[in-house]
Amino acid sequence: MKQLFRLAIISKEGQDISDLLKPYLRLLSNENIEKSIKKHKGFISGVIFGNIDEDYANNEILIVKKENKKYLYESCGRIKDVCWNQMAIRESKKENKKIKLKDGFCISHSLITPDGKWHGMIPLDLVSIGFENKEEGRNYIKNYYTKYIKPYEEDGTITIVTCNI
């Protein structure tokens, strides 16, 4: 059984997201996952762009501004065009509590920044995905917007993909 999780990729102008993904892709479908993770050879076995199916509703799409001033859902957009407050409101409704951007807004389990670094959870073993400890998970969620999104707001693009291991 493959496990699915959301990955956000932030790129700057001229950067190809496939280049940012390469270090994390397993090249062979039969490559040992556990060995691949331990050797940091890569742990994503597949990437699906955008929606995949109705059964996996966690693949939330970005709410982006358009010229007609309506909010539309897309899997990719310029960071400054994303309606982050609207997305926080949507998260609040799902969580049944008030969520603020700076206090714990999070739209993806993991994130790759333009420097090619992976942030967030990584596969830990063959049957689970998670953070190395609870504190690390809380900090990732708490700092998601201010640490990983805001620094790239002016010239960055964010793409949401669904990955499997």
Q: What is the pLDDT of residues 8-58, one digit of tens each?
A: 999 999 999 888 988 888 766 666 666 666 666 677 777 765 544 444 444
Nearest-angstrom CA–CA distance, 124 and 165: 11
In the structure, what pLDDT confidence band is assigned to residue 146 with cuts at 50, 70 and 90? very high
Contact 156, 78 (CB under 8 A): yes
**pLDDT more than 70, % of the chain:** 73
Runs of H (alpha helix) within the chain: 17-21, 33-38, 84-95, 134-143
Beta-carbon neighbour count of residue 83 at 10 Å? Answer: 16
pTM here? Answer: 0.82
Residue 164 has what pLDDT? 76
Is the model's pLDDT at 143 over the cut of 70?
Answer: yes
Of 10 and 72, more confident? 10
